[in-house]
Amino acid sequence: MNEEYGILIHDFEKSKNKKICIHVQEYKGSVFLSIREFFRNKDDEWHPSPRGITVRPELYPELLHGVVSASDALGVAGPEL
Query: Residue 53 and residue 6: Cα distance in Å, rounded?
Result: 14
Give the model's pLDDT for residue 34: 97
Identify the structural domains of the chain with CATH numbers, from first to last: 3-74 (2.30.31.10)
**The pLDDT of residue 78 is above 80:** no
Residue 2 banded pLDDT, cuts 50, 70, 90? low
**The pLDDT of residue 56 is above 70:** yes
Residue 60 banded pLDDT, cuts 50, 70, 90? very high
Output the pTM of the full model: 0.83
Residue 3 banded pLDDT, cuts 50, 70, 90? confident
Main-chain phi, psi angles of 6, to 5 degrees: 110, -165
